[in-house]
């Protein structure tokens, strides 16, 4: 989803954060960042947005919450961007490039706190400190990361950001900067004939003339989204294995007046009906992508399986691994990377007990590296070293 942040060009000073491969720190000069804020009703609902800048740079801190307006003085947690949680704050930091060939790093908060010390219609003041995870590193000829703050990779580099700030209301003399934060322009609610959420395993495809776009899965099991903020009037089609497809006509996705982006407003509801020959168990889903593990004998998970089945039919699954020298899996869905000399890849499979043809799988990549994965660094090193000794190898110093 894309939002407009409001930019006031004004004198401000703060030392720039320094980026490394793993993590880095932002050093606050003590002088407040300054900028502008907006707290009003918009096409997206009630929202509060604050934009802060550094002088003679393209560095930026954005602070926002959606569903609520001007915050009262107090302490508020900062976390991952989640539009579905009204009132939740999130922050984003962008370190701009000085030269066209430089890399622009963008981070979104994963933890932290903002303290609002003064709040009125004329001025908002406070401090913030947060740890941000990199969601984009872009340069003239390419980019790494998802590019959207709602999609952060598991091993993304992090940065610590501290700032005090003073902001005044947006005025017509300020410039608009429209930031892309991902998200759909069309949203569809999907249920089955028993009124159960049925978006998991389904696909929404929308089209307008030559434009086509598909949903990337359902985050809550009830909704499917597509469009990537593009405005239009769409024809839609919802499909799911063993169900009759549903066609939706003239879905309205109007553009806002500031950045000309669209957010879901014409939310349609569809009911999926089974095909006459549908089996009682149709799908097993255990996510997508892959897991990368690095601490031997360290249990991970459990992995959760979603089973699309008729009411009253067992949703039990049997777990297995295609290579138990790489990873073992318990019948609870817990996976255990094995002690090994080199890298290995295996598939973890969940198969329906009722219908063994219904199965889901993920790829697990095990590399015997010293990766903490939730352990303390020393505990991770101890486990890795113990594995190497069992293999007759001398642990690295």
**pLDDT, greater one: 112 or 391:** 112
| pLDDT tens, position by position, 121-163 | 888 999 999 998 888 776 544 456 656 777 777 777 888 888 8
In sequence order, what DSSP letters do the residues of 186-229 get, joined into one string? EEEEEEETTS-B--TT-EEEEEETTEEEE----SSSSEEEESTT
Cis check for the bond before 302: say yes or no (omega within 30 of 0).
yes
| pLDDT tens, position by position, 289-309 | 677 777 777 788 788 889 999
**pLDDT, greater one: 175 or 132:** 132
Same domain, 151 and 77: yes
Give me the pLDDT at residue 10, please. 29
Stretch among 41-50, 147-156, 177-186, 226-235 having the lowest mean pLDDT: 177-186
Based on the structure, what is the number of domains in the chain? 3
Distance (Å, whole) CA 159 – CA 161 = 6
The length of the chain in residues reads 397
Give me the pLDDT at residue 265, please. 85
Same domain, 110 and 210: no
The mean pLDDT value for 113-123 works out to 88
Q: Is 175 exposed, middle or buried (0-12, 13-18, 19+ CB in 10 A)?
A: exposed
Same domain, 261 and 295: no
Same domain, 32 and 115: yes
The rounded percent of the chain whose pLDDT value lies above 70 is 73
Domain of 196, in residue numbers: 186-272
| pLDDT tens, position by position, 311-331 | 999 999 999 999 998 999 999
Same domain, 27 and 128: yes
Taking 70 as the threshold, does the pLDDT of residue 376 lie above it?
no
Same domain, 239 and 343: no
Local confidence band at 280 (pLDDT 50, 70, 90 cut-offs):
very high
Within 8 A by CB and 6+ apart from 155, the residues are 292
Distance (Å, whole) CA 27 – CA 250 = 51
Distance (Å, whole) CA 275 – CA 279 = 9
- Is residue 20 in a domain? yes
CB 320 within 8 A of CB 284: no
| pLDDT tens, position by position, 183-229 | 788 999 999 999 999 999 999 999 999 999 998 777 778 899 998 88
Local confidence band at 12 (pLDDT 50, 70, 90 cut-offs):
very low
What letter does residue 385 receive in the DSSP assignment? H
Stretch among 27-31, 59-63, 191-195, 383-387 having the lowest mean pLDDT: 27-31
Give me the pLDDT at residue 23, please. 37
Same domain, 289 and 208: no
CATH of the domain at 301: 2.60.40.1080
Same domain, 232 and 306: no
| pLDDT tens, position by position, 82-97 | 666 667 888 988 876 5
């Amino acid at each position: 989803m894309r939002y407009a942040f409001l930019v006031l060009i004004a004198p401000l000073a703060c030392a720039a954060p320094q980026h490394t491969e793993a993590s880095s720190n932002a050093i606050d000069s003590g002088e407040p960042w300054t900028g502008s804020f907006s707290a009003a009703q918009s096409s997206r609902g009630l929202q509060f947005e604050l934009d802060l800048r550094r002088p003679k740079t393209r560095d930026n801190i954005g602070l926002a919450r959606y569903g609520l307006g001007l915050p009262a003085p107090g302490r508020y947690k900062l976390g991952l961007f989640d539009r579905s949680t009204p009132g939740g704050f999130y922050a984003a930091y962008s370190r701009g490039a000085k030269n066209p060939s430089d890399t622009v790093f963008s981070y979104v908060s994963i933890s932290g706190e903002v303290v609002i010390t003064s709040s009125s219609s004329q001025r908002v003041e406070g401090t913030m400190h947060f740890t941000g995870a990199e969601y984009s590193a872009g340069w003239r000829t390419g980019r790494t990361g998802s590019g959207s703050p709602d999609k952060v990779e598991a091993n993304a580099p992090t940065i610590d950001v501290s700032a005090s700030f003073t902001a005044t209301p947006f005025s017509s003399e300020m410039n608009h900067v429209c930031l892309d934060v991902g998200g759909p322009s069309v949203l569809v609610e999907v249920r089955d004939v028993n009124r159960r959420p049925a978006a998991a395993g389904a696909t929404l495809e929308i089209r307008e003339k030559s434009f086509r776009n598909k949903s990337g899965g359902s985050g809550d099991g009830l909704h499917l989204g597509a469009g990537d903020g593009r405005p239009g009037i769409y024809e839609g089609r919802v499909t799911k294995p063993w169900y009759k497809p549903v066609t939706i006509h003239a879905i309205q996705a109007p553009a806002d007046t500031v950045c000309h982006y669209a957010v879901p407003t014409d939310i349609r509801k569809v009911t999926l009906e089974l095909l006459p020959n549908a089996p009682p168990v149709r799908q097993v889903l255990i996510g997508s992508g892959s897991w990368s593990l690095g601490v031997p004998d360290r249990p991970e998970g459990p992995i959760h399986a979603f089973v699309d089945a008729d009411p009253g039919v067992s949703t039990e699954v049997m777990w297995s691994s295609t290579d138990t020298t790489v990873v073992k899996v318990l019948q609870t869905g817990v996976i255990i990377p094995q002690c090994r000399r080199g890298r290995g890849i295996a598939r973890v499979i969940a198969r329906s007990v009722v219908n063994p043809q219904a199965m889901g799988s993920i790829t697990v990549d095990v590399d015997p590296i010293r990766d903490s994965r939730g352990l303390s660094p020393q505990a991770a090193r101890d486990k890795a070293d113990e594995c190497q000794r069992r293999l007759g190898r001398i642990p690295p110093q």
